[in-house]
Amino acid sequence: MSEVVFSVDVVCQSSTCAEAQTRGFTFNVDEPEELGGTNTGPNPVEYVIGAYAGCLNVVGHMIAKEMGFELDSLKIHVEGSLDTAGFLGKDPNVRSGYQEIRVTYDVESAASRETLEKWVEAVGKRCPVGDNLKNPTPIVTTLKT
């Protein structure tokens, strides 16, 4: 399969709120009120872990099928710890993004514990969003005026 290009276009509504569009879908990105936003949608870092969980779901089902077992039920909880001193510019020694992201799979399946552990490992290796979170990805920036 060849390379696929995904894109999102964002129009800023305010300093904390933006409307994003992709493939005919529109969604709001906003900060909670306690971070100066209007709370009209998840914030950017919540979308990151939401995207990660969604990707783990897709890849998880694909790999379960490849491995020959069914997932009767799958719930994925993703949470991340973020020190706001980084992105707020208060401490240059603190990174701006998550310091740690934790994933919990709640699985119901007839597959053995050993099979499910191999499945978790394979899902972690093949999830595109996880790959972007774990590995440096070049970002090419263009400024238009």
* pLDDT for position 77: 99
- CB 52: neighbour CB atoms within 10 A? 21
Q: Which long-range contacts (C-beta less than 8 Å, at least 24 apart) are formed by 48-51?
A: 48/80, 48/98, 48/133, 49/78, 49/79, 49/80, 49/98, 49/101, 50/78, 51/129
48, 127, 136 from 131: Cα distances, Å: 12, 6, 9
What's the DSSP call for residue 136? -
Residue 86 carries which DSSP code? H
- Provide the residue-wise pLDDT of the chain in tens; the chain has 145 residues: 699 999 999 999 999 999 999 999 999 999 999 989 999 999 999 999 999 999 999 999 999 999 999 999 999 999 999 999 999 999 999 999 999 999 999 999 999 999 999 999 999 999 999 999 999 999 999 999 9
The angle at the Cα of 77, spanning 68 to 116, to the nearest 5 degrees, equals 25
Q: What CA–CA distance (Å, rounded) separates 143 from 87?
A: 21
Q: Can you give the pLDDT at residue 105?
A: 99
CB contact at 8 A, 108 and 73: yes
Q: What is the pLDDT of residue 43?
A: 97
pLDDT of residue 44: 97
Q: What is the DSSP code (8-state) at residue 22?
A: E
Residue 42: its pLDDT value, please? 98
pLDDT for res 25: 98
Give pTM, 2 decimals: 0.94
